[in-house]
Structure 1
């Protein structure tokens, strides 16, 4: 057998076979970390130490906020422009006294008139309305006792402290609110009394409440050291105004006490005039609601009033 007759092996291809990707079978069943997707990793539960730390942090933040609020409410306020607040109180006094005298025949703020009514009652005068002296006596008694209450409370808590003024005017607002509700719900007659009719003793409640709040604003004028704005008295105010040697001083800003006295007188006059107008075009309770709204605005204003350093908000490092 010749060499050519031998069967030679088939020639192999020198090009290596190409590796093809397997057919796409959908998303991988493993996540990026090599774990099967249907197998949940065992994550350890939060430790009790971490929970304690979170609770302690929350408690510390809450205590810090409470301390901040306590410091803020305990700051003494700047008296600058508080005379404007007292002039508004004079307007409230006019509203309240105009309503009280027109509806119930006695005053709530002006105790001079009540003193005269009490003195006339000794001789049984006036004959009508009956027991006018009794209503005036109750108003005067409540006013005197309320003055002691507001003065002593303010001295105990520091009269210029923010929380003291908020408490004082908030209490006055509450008294006006109760009086307005009593009249609005007709628990107290919403109509002016008939002088010849028997006395309605329920009138004593709003009279006492209005005298109570009047004492509060008078004490505020003394504690804020603006004696020239008594808010409830006109006689001494006009006397001091006319006795002022700088009554005609120019420019207008040269005599601030004169300006405050004029403003207080006009405010009280306009308040009484407003009470008379509201009693004709609206209900008797409208004057009380108006007075309560003004006192509420004053109460809220103390929250944002500047402190003695001229700041509206205390610094975090305040001590």
Structure 2
């Protein structure tokens, strides 16, 4: 949290200097405004994440984004009870997720995680990873073990870790784009849950709706059209968000 606050302060302090830059440079370097438009982007990412995890567990017997589940299953597997999950895939997914989060978070901290160029770049990388996983599933078929399935799962998990880290830069903690446990608890214990106006409650509830809807959509598509096409649909959602970043208002626009 301290590093995020420090990064936020650096972004605010750099805004006066940024206004003296050429328009094109200022456009790319200004931090983005965390408004309703960004909320919609995060909800679309959440829907796409639901699609991915609904595909990953049947295909790989492990999750790409739900690292709470992977962490518990990893402990269970190491204790000697493998069950219906794949211990190797779970460990790979957890490692790739953490690597993606470290890369995005630790680079984004000093440069400003909400700057347009950084958000645009990391979303392009994440989108390429998803399409790469879809291509692997299409060309090499759906398998649980082997180099290609491991590569596909690693791409999805790394993309998800990077996505969560880049979303956290906007400090909308109610919309993580992946993990649901805290959102469920915070929603039901909210003392103002029945209030007419409650932005945090609305964010949490729409996040959970998007995640559940994406999971249902992913499960349906995995059974009807196959995993590769379902991942392609998830990638399209990422493409739309990447384009939306170009249209998002800069934070300095608040003062105009």
TM-score range (shorter-chain normalised) is: 0.7 to 0.9
Name the structure 2 match of 1:37: none
**Partner deviation per Cα, 1:166-188 (whole Å, 9 max, x = no partner):** 011111111111111111222xx
Contact 1:120/1:133 (8 A) holds in 2: no
Name the structure 1 match of 2:91: 137
CA distance in 2, matches of 1:280, 1:172: 25
**Partner deviation per Cα, 1:127-184 (whole Å, 9 max, x = no partner):** 656xx11110111111112111110121232112110110111111111111111112
Runs (4+) of structure 1 exceeding 6 A deviation are none
When Rg is computed on C-alpha atoms for both structures, the one with the higher figure is 1
| 1:14-25 correspondence runs (5 A) | none
| 1:196-215 correspondence runs (5 A) | 199-215=145-161
Name the structure 2 match of 1:45: none
Contact 1:107/1:139 (8 A) holds in 2: yes
CA distance in 2, matches of 1:127, 1:159: 40
Name the structure 1 match of 2:115: 161
Q: Which runs of 5+ in 2 are unaligned?
A: 1-20
CA distance in 2, matches of 1:255, 1:210: 34
CA distance in 1, matches of 2:251, 2:74: 44
Name the structure 1 match of 2:203: 260
Change (3 A) 1:220 1:80: same
Contact 2:136/2:148 (8 A) holds in 1: no
Name the structure 1 match of 2:179: 233
Contact 1:86/1:217 (8 A) holds in 2: no
CA distance in 2, matches of 1:245, 1:123: 40
Change (3 A) 1:119 1:249: same
**Which of 216, 220, 223 is equivalent to 1:280?**
223
Name the structure 1 match of 2:191: 245
| 1:70-89 correspondence runs (5 A) | 70-81=25-36, 82-89=38-45
Name the structure 1 match of 2:105: 151
Contact 1:139/1:211 (8 A) holds in 2: yes
1:310 is paired with a residue whose SS is helix
Name the structure 2 match of 1:299: 242
TM-score by length of 1: 0.69
1:159 is paired with a residue whose SS is coil
Contact 2:136/2:149 (8 A) holds in 1: no
Q: How many residues align?
A: 234
TM-score by length of 2: 0.85
Say yes or no: does 1:95 pair with 2:48: no
